[in-house]
Structures are given as structure tokens and as C-alpha cells.
Amino acid sequence: MTGQVEDSFGGGGWTGALRRRAVAVLPPEQLLPDRQPAYVSSWIYVFGVLTVAAFGWVLVSGAWLALAGAAWWHSSTVGHFVNSLHLWSVELFFFFMVIHLWGKFFMAAWRGRRALTWITGVVAFVASIGTAFTGYLVQQNFDSQWIATQAKDGLNSVGVGAWFNVLNTGQMLLWHVLLLPLVVGVLVVLHVLLVRSRGVVPPLDAPATGDPATEVSS
């Protein structure tokens, strides 16, 4: 039926081509799998999904804070509690992410055309550090004052302090609630899609038909 429609409309144009390409790269059963290779049976695999789940709660609690404004949490008990949710979801996010990262390192998870998956993960980690850092800057409390006045020296020392001015609370607020979460979000989506596309890396020395000499360096 779908084929008949595409035929009658010339293959669906750009949209049809994009759809066919997307399905070819990432078939639905690979995007949302209901089976995994038998070797995927360690607790270390849990930390990837825990990181994504924590990121989701970081976004939810951050959005809640954003709804009421940047200074709400200083004067409201509810606001302070939501800030606590935001803080601890961030702490959990990093805790899970670091374990995930080192787990993948010791699995040499970049093997088998998975280098881009590794790179997007590392860049997402670095971008997350920047996002959390700007969060500390926009708290509008003593921590913000101290961290900003200290961090300016690092950024100024490499010549970027005037463009990324940690003393400019308004600028840092926009970086924190829009620009950096957008970067992290895009990287996380790309990372997960790459994982689904390439599949979970097999164990080191897993037998197959290729050339054994390439196993370590690939």
C-alpha cells in the first residue's frame, strides 16, 4: 500500500527519500529493540539509561525553576525544594555519567565503527560540565559571587572572558537555561541514536569472521 502511494507520487520526494534513509540507517526494531546480544548482561549497562533518566529530571526541575523566575527559590519554601531537586538530579546525572564513561572506556566501546559514539559522549560530558558551572553562576547567592570572581581568571587567561563573561549574570542565565542545555540535549540524542544504530559493542576477543589482528586497534 505504501509502495503504491509512493509510486503514484514519484517516491514521496525529499520527504520519502529522508524517510527511506532514516529507516535504512535505523530500522524501528533497532531504534526500539526488544532483544539484545546475550553478553549485554552487566550492571554497568544500567548507568547509560540512568544518565539519560537523570538528565530528564534535570530538565524537568530546571523548567520548574524557570517557570517562576530566577530569584523565586530564594523566597519560597517550594522554590527552595525545587532547587534541591535540581541540585540532586544534577549530582546524580554526573555520578551516573562518570561511571558510564569509565565503564565504556574499559569496554573499549569505540571498537567497530563506534568512535563517533564515544566522541559524542565525551563532548556531552564536557558540555555538561559547562552547563552545571553556569548553573552555579546564576544562583544569585554567595556561591555565585565567589565562583564567578574566581572563574573569571581562568576564562580571561585564555582570552575568552569578555565573550563568555561569568560576571554577567544575565548572559550566564541565558547560557544556562537555553544554549548549553540545547547543546547537551542534541549531543545526548545523537549519542543514543548512534548507540542504537551501531548496537552494543561486543566483548573483547569475541569470535567472528574478521581479521583478529585488527581487534585491539580498531
Cβ 22 to other proteins, closest distance in Å?
18
Decide if residue 99 touches other proteins (CB under 8 A).
Answer: no
**Closest listed residue to residue 197, CA positions, set 61, 71, 10, 24:** 24
* Binding residue for other proteins, selected from 13, 15, 186, 203, defined by CB under 8 A: 203
C-alpha distances in angstroms, 10 versus 2, 3, 4? 12, 10, 10
Nearer to other proteins, 6 or 215 (CB): 215
State whether residue 199 is helix, strand or coil: coil
Cβ 94 to other proteins, closest distance in Å?
5
Cβ 203 to other proteins, closest distance in Å?
4
Cβ 20 to other proteins, closest distance in Å?
21
CB 114 within 8 A of CB 198: yes
Could you give the string, one character per residue 105-134, with x where binding to other proteins holds by CB under 8 A and - elsewhere?
Answer: xxxx-xxxxxx--xx--xx--x--x--xx-
The sign one gets for the Cα dihedral 137, 141, 145, 151 is negative
CB 95 within 8 A of CB 155: no
- Among positions 1-30, residues that touch other proteins (CB under 8 A) are none
Could you give the string, one character per residue 27-66, with x where binding to other proteins holds by CB under 8 A and - elsewhere?
Answer: -----xxxxxxxxxxx-x-x--xx-xxx-xx---x-----
**Closest listed residue to residue 114, CA positions, set 190, 51, 194, 40:** 194
Alpha helices in 69-114 (DSSP H): 72-75, 77-106
48 Cβ contact partners less than 8 Å away, ≥ 6 residues apart: 100, 195
Count of residues interacting with other proteins (CB under 8 A): 106
122 Cβ contact partners less than 8 Å away, ≥ 6 residues apart: 101
Cβ 131 to other proteins, closest distance in Å?
11
- Among positions 69-88, residues that touch other proteins (CB under 8 A) are 73-74, 80-81, 83-88
Nearer to other proteins, 12 or 53 (CB): 53
Cβ 21 to other proteins, closest distance in Å?
20
* Binding residue for other proteins, selected from 103, 130, 190, 197, defined by CB under 8 A: 103
Measured N-to-C along each axis, helices 77-106 and 46-68 cross at an angle, to the nearest 10 degrees, of 150
- Among positions 127-186, residues that touch other proteins (CB under 8 A) are 129, 132-133, 136, 139-151, 153-163, 165, 167-171, 173
